[in-house]
């Protein structure tokens, strides 16, 4: 379980704060013990958010919880989707929780766009933005995008194999409620609701192949306006049979 | 060369038939207009506009062909910079089949006329860092020259100063022509039409299609054609000549 221990007033990183944060993230590769929060303590790196909004203390067990919490907290704010300073501040505030960790549980930083929002092409890579985006846009169906390994030591960090990596990068094609719901039916067990092993593969039935087929269909059909049942009938048998089991 | 099949007979919605324009003085509020009088669609077909930036998109339902509702304005502030927003528009049957579509249609700015057609529209951008100019991604939409909005007076100089024009526009034209010669078929590059017309004029009648076949994906041949087109462009406007005369 991870937590944000204190109530804090919402902030935004200034351009100099963003530059500094990126520099520190790069430094982490060679200095993993670097205290980012300490290094970012100067007030010149922050500016107030006009709404005066505060983030209360909170606990998150999964990415779904985190997404739901962020969606609630930011619901009254306008134009947050591409607010680089805000999302970078959120990632900084929650850095210890969302920081990338490998299979051994060792924390690392990886690429800066996991923490500093890189609009517009790579927003989905941002570890806080992606949780917010999935729940805000798809609600319960969006939880599927954030499904990860339950046993992962740091549940909010990047684990690899999340569906978000495929669908988030192809929002025009796959980013609609029926498509996400269809994807959930294909890649989760109809009995237990648990994610299928095929989610982390790259073979004949995999998120990558699913997106490839979807892109082809997208040229001819408006996938976002179709019901899941209609979508099911469009796809090749290998996907049709999996979805039909639900 | 890539080929795309259109086996469902999907009709093309041209740029001149759809316009999305910034209205008002605050934020990024957009009005849209679609003219379907040139193309026959069923009355109950649904019209959808999809403004997008990179991987982030919105979906706006504009009603049906019979009851098209473009009276409302739409706030696109959450998408970010207006210069990067491009529109796809679709006419869709009730069962989801796309009957007509238009892609890569740029947002028309305040005071611009959607009816006019500039070969290379210019937009100010505050996201170029220390770069003075760059071309917007040619994969997303028709060419657009982005100039750094932080540089004071750059737009004025681009309009009036042959030195700035020659230094920016000639390499930009070379880049666009190179891109077209690599795979500039109408199917793979929907915006190539008026550039293909310009190319044929600049190259004394040699069509873009002929140049593509002749170059046959050979890098050096493509570069040679792109150089010829860029030189022709520079000669047409006489950038260096006008500076020589000025001295």
pLDDT score for B29: 87
Q: Which of B55, B56, B92 sits opposite A225 (nearest CB)?
A: B92
Distance from CA of B91 to the nearest CA of A (A): 9
Q: Give the pLDDT of chain A (246 residues) as one tens digit per residue.
A: 445 667 788 999 999 999 999 999 988 878 888 888 899 999 999 998 877 788 888 878 888 899 999 999 999 888 888 889 999 999 999 888 888 766 665 666 668 888 999 876 678 889 999 999 999 988 888 888 887 666 666 778 777 666 676 676 777 777 788 898 898 888 888 888 777 777 777 778 888 888 889 988 988 999 999 999 999 999 999 999 988 887
* Chain A residues touching B56 at Cβ < 8 A: 81-82, 119-120, 123, 171
Q: Which of B10, B46, B80 sits opposite A120 (nearest CB)?
A: B80
pLDDT digits (tens, 9 = 90+) for B143-174: 889 999 888 889 888 888 889 999 999 999 99
Can you say whether residue B85 is alpha, beta or left, with left for phi > 0 and alpha for psi between -120 and 50 degrees? beta
* Chain B residues touching A15 at Cβ < 8 A: none
Burial A62-99 (b: 16+ CB within 10 A, else e): bbbbbbbbbbebbeeeeebbbbbbbbbbbbbbbbebbb
For testing contact with chain B, the best of A76, A82, A83 (most B CBs within 10 A)? A82
Residues in contact with B6: Cβ distance below 8 Å, sequence separation at least 6, in sequence order: none
pLDDT score for A115: 92
Query: Where residue B113 falls among pLDDT bands split at 50, 70, 90?
Result: low
- The token pair at B12 is 């093309």
Residue A206, SS3 per DSSP = coil
According to the 3-state scheme, what is the secondary structure of A149-176?
Answer: CCCCCCCCCCCCCCCHHHHHHHHHHHCC
Bridging pattern class, strands A46-48 and B11-12: unpaired
DSSP string covering B212-230: HHHHTT-HHHHHHHHHHHH
pLDDT at residue B73 tops 60 = yes
Q: Does A14 touch chain B (CB under 8 A)?
A: no
Q: Which of A43-47, B32-36, B79-83 has the lowest mean pLDDT?
A: B79-83
Burial of B247 by CB count in 10 Å (0-12 exposed, 13-18 middle, 19+ buried)? Answer: exposed
Tell me how far apart the alpha carbons of residues A76 and A78 are, in angstroms, rounded to a whole number.
Answer: 7
Distance from CA of B52 to the nearest CA of A (A): 8
Distance from CA of B100 to the nearest CA of A (A): 10
pLDDT score for B132: 94
Distance from CA of B183 to the nearest CA of A (A): 19
- The token pair at A117 is 């929002």
Closest CA relative to residue A180, chosen from A220, A216, A133: A133
Residue B237, SS3 per DSSP = helix
Percentage of the residues of chain B whose pLDDT score is greater than 90 = 28
Q: Does A226 touch chain B (CB under 8 A)?
A: yes
Contact B102, B62 (CB under 8 A): no
Query: Where residue B91 falls among pLDDT bands split at 50, 70, 90?
Result: very high
pLDDT score for A2: 47
* Chain A residues touching B3 at Cβ < 8 A: none
Q: Which of B54, B59, B96 sits opposite A120 (nearest CB)?
A: B54
pLDDT score for B140: 64
Quick check: A176 and B52 CB within 8 A? no
pLDDT score for A149: 65
pLDDT score for A152: 66
DSSP string covering A21-42: HHHHHHHHTT-TT--HHHHT--
For testing contact with chain B, the best of A120, A224, A232, A234 (most B CBs within 10 A)? A120
Q: Which of A57-66, A201-210, B39-48, B74-83 has the lowest mean pLDDT?
A: B74-83
Strand boundaries in chain A, DSSP class E? 2-4, 8-9, 11-13, 46-48, 54-55, 58-60
Average pLDDT, chain B: 84
Distance from CA of A106 to the nearest CA of B (A): 31
The pTM assigned to this predicted structure is 0.67
Q: If you compute the radius of gyration of chain A from its CA atoms, what whole number of angstroms results? A: 19
pLDDT at residue B43 tops 50 = yes
DSSP, res A219? T
pLDDT at residue B246 tops 70 = no
Taking CA–CA distances from B90, the nearest residue in chain A reads A222
């Amino acid at each position: 379980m991870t937590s944000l221990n204190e109530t804090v007033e919402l902030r935004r990183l200034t351009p100099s704060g963003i530059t500094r944060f990126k520099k520190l993230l790069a430094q982490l590769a060679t200095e993993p013990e670097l205290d980012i929060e300490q290094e970012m303590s100067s007030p010149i790196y922050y500016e107030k958010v006009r709404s005066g909004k505060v983030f209360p203390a909170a606990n998150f067990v999964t990415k779904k919880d985190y997404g739901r919490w962020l969606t609630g907290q930011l619901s009254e704010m306008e134009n947050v989707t591409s607010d680089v300073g805000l999302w970078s501040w959120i990632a900084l505030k929650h850095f210890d929780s969302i920081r990338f960790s490998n299979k051994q549980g060792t924390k690392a930083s990886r690429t800066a766009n996991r923490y500093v929002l890189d609009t517009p092409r790579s927003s989905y890579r941002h570890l806080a933005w992606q949780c917010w985006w999935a729940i805000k846009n798809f609600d319960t169906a969006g939880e599927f995008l954030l499904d990860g390994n339950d046993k992962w030591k740091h549940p909010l960090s990047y684990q690899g194999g999340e569906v978000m990596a495929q669908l988030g990068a192809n929002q025009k094609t796959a980013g609609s409620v029926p498509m996400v719901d269809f994807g959930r039916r294909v890649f989760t067990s109809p009995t237990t609701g648990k994610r299928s092993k095929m989610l982390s593969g790259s073979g004949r039935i995999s998120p990558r192949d699913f997106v490839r087929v979807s892109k082809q269909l997208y040229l001819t059909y408006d996938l976002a306006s179709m019901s899941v049942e209609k979508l099911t009938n469009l796809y090749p048998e290998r996907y049709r049979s999996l979805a039909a089991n639900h | 060369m890539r080929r795309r099949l259109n086996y469902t007979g999907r009709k093309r919605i041209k740029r001149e038939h759809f316009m999305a324009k910034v209205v008002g003085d605050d934020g990024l509020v957009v009005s849209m207009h679609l003219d379907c009088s040139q193309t026959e669609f069923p009355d109950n077909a649904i019209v959808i506009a999809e403004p997008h930036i990179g991987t982030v998109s919105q979906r706006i339902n504009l009603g049906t062909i019979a009851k098209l509702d473009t009276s409302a304005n739409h706030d696109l502030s959450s998408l970010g910079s207006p210069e990067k927003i491009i529109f796809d528009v679709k006419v869709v049957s009730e069962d989801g089949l796309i009957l007509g579509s238009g892609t890569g249609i740029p947002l028309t700015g305040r005071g611009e006329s959607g009816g006019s057609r500039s070969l290379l529209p210019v937009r100010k951008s505050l996201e170029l860092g220390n770069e003075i100019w760059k071309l917007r991604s040619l994969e997303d939409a028709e060419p657009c020259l982005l100039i750094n909005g932080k540089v004071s007076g750059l737009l004025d100089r681009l309009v009036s100063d042959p030195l700035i024009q020659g230094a920016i526009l000639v390499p930009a034209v070379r880049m666009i022509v190179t891109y077209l010669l690599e795979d500039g078929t109408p199917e793979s590059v929907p915006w190539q039409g008026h550039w293909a017309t310009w190319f044929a004029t600049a190259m004394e009648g040699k069509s873009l299609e002929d140049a593509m076949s002749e170059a046959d994906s050979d890098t050096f041949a493509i570069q040679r054609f792109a150089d010829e087109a860029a030189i022709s462009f520079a000669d047409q406007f006489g950038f260096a000549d006008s500076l020589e005369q000025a001295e």
